[in-house]
């Protein structure tokens, strides 16, 4: 990050946004959604290298990556079925923290086993950057890195715990970010351990 200790305008870190009860209810819903739209292992465009996270989506559109590229599509790439709907609790979160008139269209669900990571990236496959990306963390804690809008600059690290919410909006919308590591065994929320990260997005222009 370029400027001292300040987070960029439009970045929000809301630790403990969801209570333990809310978290358990959300995990219960996610178990049903994952039964309907199973986690799949995406591959990188061109190289075909597997991601270390497994993913699925909720909403009218879901983010997928395969040999042909990154894109949003209405169907699960393996089952060909539409994604389950985004539950009300997540629509409410978007309305409360997103400061966006239009509803989210996609909720990417990433599952990290203890050894998984996510390289530094920008979320820029959407057709609008006027809406924020709102993220929810569940399960094991993770070290989240936030950089600036240019690749390779200084970064700040945040330890995201279960129930925390992060928003990348405004000037922070296109900041690079990634997950350095998962702290395996740091939460007992998920019975098989690991971490879930949900990111709510708007894809179409508002």
Footprint on this chain of Fe ion (rule: CB under 5 A): 123
Q: Which partner in ligand MD6, Fe ion, none is near 64 (CB below 5 to 8 A by kind)?
A: none
Cβ distance to ligand MD6 smaller for residue 82 or 171: 171
Instruction: Kindly state whether residue 118 participates in binding ligand MD6, applying the rule CB under 6 A.
Output: yes
Instruction: Kindly state whether residue 162 participates in binding ligand MD6, applying the rule CB under 6 A.
Output: no
Instruction: Kindly state whether residue 187 participates in binding ligand MD6, applying the rule CB under 6 A.
Output: no
Least distance in Å: CB of 18 to ligand MD6? 14
Alpha carbons 95 and 107: distance in angstroms, whole number: 14
Least distance in Å: CB of 90 to ligand MD6? 14
Name residue 201's beta-bridge partners: 106
- Selected from 123, 126, 140, 164, the binder of ligand MD6 by CB under 6 A is 123
Using the rule CB under 6 A, give the single segment among 7-15, 31-39, 71-79, 133-141 that binds ligand MD6: 133-141
> Would you say 196 and 53 are in contact if contact means Cβ atoms under 8 Å apart?
no
Q: Which partner in ligand MD6, Fe ion, none is near 197 (CB below 5 to 8 A by kind)?
A: ligand MD6
Least distance in Å: CB of 12 to ligand MD6? 10
Cβ distance to ligand MD6 smaller for residue 91 or 174: 174
Alpha carbons 183 and 114: distance in angstroms, whole number: 7
> Would you say 167 and 194 are in contact if contact means Cβ atoms under 8 Å apart?
no
Assign residue 26 a region (left: φ > 0; alpha: ψ between -120 and 50; beta: otherwise). Answer: alpha
Q: Note the residues at the interface with ligand MD6 (CB under 6 A).
A: 110, 118, 123, 133, 135, 137, 144, 166, 168, 177, 179, 197, 199
């Amino acid at each position: 990050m370029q400027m001292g200790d300040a987070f960029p305008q439009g970045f929000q870190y809301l630790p403990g946004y969801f209570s333990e009860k809310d978290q358990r209810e959300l995990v219960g819903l996610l178990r049903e959604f994952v039964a309907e739209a199973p986690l799949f292992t995406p591959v990188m465009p061109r190289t075909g290298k597997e991601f270390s996270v497994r993913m699925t989506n909720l909403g009218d559109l879901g983010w997928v990556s395969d040999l042909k590229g990154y894109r949003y599509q209405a169907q699960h790439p393996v089952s060909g079925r539409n994604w389950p709907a985004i539950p009300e609790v997540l629509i409410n979160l978007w309305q409360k923290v997103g400061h966006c008139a239009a509803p989210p269209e996609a909720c990417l669900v990433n599952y990290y086993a203890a050894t998984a990571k996510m390289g530094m990236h920008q979320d820029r496959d959407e057709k609008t950057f006027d809406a924020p990306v709102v993220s929810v963390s569940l399960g094991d804690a993770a070290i989240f890195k936030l950089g600036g809008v240019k690749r390779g600059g200084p970064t700040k690290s945040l330890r995201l715990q279960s129930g925390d919410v992060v928003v990348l909006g405004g000037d922070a919308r296109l900041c690079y970010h990634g997950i350095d590591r998962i702290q395996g065994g740091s939460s007992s929320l998920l019975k098989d351990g690991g971490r879930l990260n949900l990111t709510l997005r708007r894809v179409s222009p508002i």
